[in-house]
């Protein structure tokens, strides 16, 4: 039991020291109001990972909260291609932040071990760039387990 506690403390301190910050990343738009704009992702210099998976969500009712999980390894960038998405994140140290994604030139970087929820408004369409292929074992889906793992902070 003491070994398990020591191992948990060791793993937690490594995760905390390696924890990356949740942040907004700007994507350039090219064009003008007369013809419209194109947003480009092409080996973007501000992305903190190589993109291995791309997925999107559409037609999510406004009363639904999506996400409600953390990833052990996966890093993500969330982009509102249309509408407004309010993203609430909680880092392992207990810091809670709320971000509003309301333009396709802004992406929210969500590092591993960050609990996150999304609420969609105005018929939002979300695009997600992910650092890993889908793996159910990467998900922490129970909030009590998430809080327990990170010491209940």
Alpha-helical segments (H) within the chain: 2-18, 143-149
69 catalytic residue (yes or no) = yes
Give CA–CA dist 88/98, Å, rounded. 4
Among residues 44, 69, 103, 121, the one annotated as catalytic is: 69
Q: What is the pLDDT of residues 15-25, one digit of tens each?
A: 444 568 899 88
Task: Quote the pLDDT of residue 8.
Answer: 46
Could you tell me the CATH number of the domain that includes residue 106? 2.60.120.10
For tokens 């993109």, the residue is: 51
37-88 pLDDT, tens digit per residue, is: 777 666 666 788 999 999 999 999 999 999 999 999 999 999 999 999 999 9
- Number of structural domains found in the chain: 1
Structural domain harbouring 109: 2-149
Residue 18: which of 92, 89, 83 has the closest Cα?
Answer: 92
User: How far apart are alpha carbons 144 and 147 in whole angstroms?
Assistant: 5
d(CA 72, CA 15): 10
């Amino acid at each position: 039991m003491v070994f398990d506690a020591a191992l948990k403390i060791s793993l937690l301190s490594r995760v905390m020291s390696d924890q990356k910050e949740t942040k907004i990343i700007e994507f350039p738009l090219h064009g003008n109001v007369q013809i419209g704009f194109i947003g480009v992702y092409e080996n973007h210099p501000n992305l903190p990972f190589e993109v291995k998976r791309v997925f999107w969500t559409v037609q999510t009712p406004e009363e639904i909260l999506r996400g409600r999980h953390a990833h052990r390894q996966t890093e993500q960038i969330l982009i509102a291609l249309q509408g407004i998405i309010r993203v609430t994140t909680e880092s392992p140290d207990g810091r809670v932040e709320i971000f509003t994604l309301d333009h396709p030139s802004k992406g929210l970087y969500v590092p591993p071990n960050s609990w996150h929820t999304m609420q969609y408004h105005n018929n939002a369409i979300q695009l997600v760039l992910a650092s890993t292929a889908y793996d159910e074992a990467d998900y922490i889906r129970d909030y009590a387990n998430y809080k327990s793992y990170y010491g209940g902070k």
